[in-house]
Structure 1
Amino acid sequence: MRRFSKWIGFFLMAALVFANPLWVNAEEDPHKFKAGESPYWFKPGEGPLPLPSNKFLKLSEDIRLHNNRGIDEFLTQNFRDALDHFEMAAQLDPNNGILAYNEAITLDRLNRHREATQRFQQAKDLARGNQLILNSPVLQSHLSHP
């Protein structure tokens, strides 16, 4: 009986490991979006960034709330309200590179490029090695063409 239960367990584990990809078709794989089907209307590096969890960066809930609401407004292309939320979050933590970046990316969408360039420079100075900020094509274009 013990031998039989080992074979059943082995068979079930093999079925889970090998059969799982067969049950998922290409349309359900989130990494295989076709052009124009992404839930985001902007390209990577052209939108706001979420804050890291409290495990990595202790921030007040007000800052997190305003940043999350700003991201939600940005995703619905309501840039004025997004900017309000990002500015409120940045006032609560003026030395946070992500908040400066989110403000700058929103100012860029509002065609306030001079202000965006200033905030991008601040975001770069406050990035602390954050490659999502430093490698942003929008940041790079603003700082290479002031």
Structure 2
Amino acid sequence: MKMHRDILVIEDDEDDREILEEIFRDLGYKNNIIFFSDSTEALKYIRKPEVNPFIIISDINMPKLGGFELRDMILEEEVLADKDIPYIFISNAQDEYSIKQANKLFIQGYIQKTNDYNRYKEKIKNLIDFWKENINTFSSKKQ
């Protein structure tokens, strides 16, 4: 089932990755959680024909290839778009520009990072639980 496939987390900040690793460990999902610190490496991985993750959780502000650019590339490459992977942004940015840009890229969620561990964990749990229940209901592609 798709809901048990890998969860990809693309986050360049080591401290943020460690917090997310701890959150996923605490939540105990059976999915394999794969972390990428470099979005270009994540793109190479996603392009592999045998890779079809359950969900992608991506930071926005990253060196080399930012989250907006990465999402745009996934939408533009037919082979990647056809994988129909839900794409969630996770960011400190809550400004109007960032939210509008994210929505233009047909994302399926936008989570603001928080220093409150329990609140952050609750946000991640709600996100994953929603997609596990509704993975076949929504399309992550442009219509």
TM-score relative to the length of structure 2: 0.29
Higher strand fraction: Structure 1 or Structure 2? 2
The structure whose Rg is larger is 1
Q: Which protein has the bigger helix share?
A: 1
Give the alignment's TM-score, normalised by structure 1. 0.29
